[in-house]
Amino acid sequence: MGFSGHLVFARSRRPLLEAPVFGGIGQELKDTVDAWLPRPGGWQTLRFDHGIWADGYLSALVVWTGAPACVAEVSDSDIAFVTGLGTDGQRWQAWLNLDKAAALFAEEPEDLDDVSLWVGTPEFDEAVRRKRAELEAHVPAGAEGALAWAASAGITGTGEQPRIETLLRSRETFAEDLFSALLDELGFPRATRVSSGT
């Protein structure tokens, strides 16, 4: 079983979990939230288990931090749907692991009784191909929006649209890895371990 939940990326001098928007989350649930290694400049990633994150949190987080933020809704580590929001209210969205998303969301025949008998058939393959083409059509806009969002966060001059589009079309075993790779490709400073010294 992979991870299902939300990856939240935002900038703050304080721990993101201290944001007022999370005040209604009980301590028991807060204890399940995993903080990834921070990135320089105050950029933080939190991993929320399924059911903890609510739709309105992203805009509230942007208001509290005064900086752009994004959230990736991950399903079983197979796919992720990323939504970014800038301080100007501009939003962008993109899928990660398009092939798996296409297979998952391919339109099923109305008279289908048993999905297992449909998967792997020529009709299934054609439905996946159509859904993949539909998702593919949104890749350039997603890449452009992601770059504009990163620029609004002060990240400029490093990300290139063709490379972002290639990443959005790529596949990985874990969608979480694609999310980290997307942030890297957009030019956000990479997470580094702090050595304790001797």
Size of the chain, expressed as the number of residues it contains: 198
The answer to whether the pTM exceeds 0.85 is: yes
186 strand-pairing partners? none
Beta pairing class for 69-75 and 5-11: antiparallel
Main-chain phi, psi angles of 77, to 5 degrees: 65, 0
- pLDDT averaged over every residue in the chain: 91
Rounded CA-CA distance 78/62 in Å is: 27
Rounded CA-CA distance 84/149 in Å is: 7
Q: Cβ(182)–Cβ(164) under 8 Å?
A: yes
The packing angle between helices 175-186 and 161-169, to 10°, is: 180
Query: What digits encode the pLDDT tens for the residues 178-189?
Result: 999 999 999 999
Query: What digits encode the pLDDT tens for the residues 33-83?
Result: 999 999 999 999 999 998 889 889 999 999 999 999 999 999 999 999 999
Rounded CA-CA distance 87/150 in Å is: 11
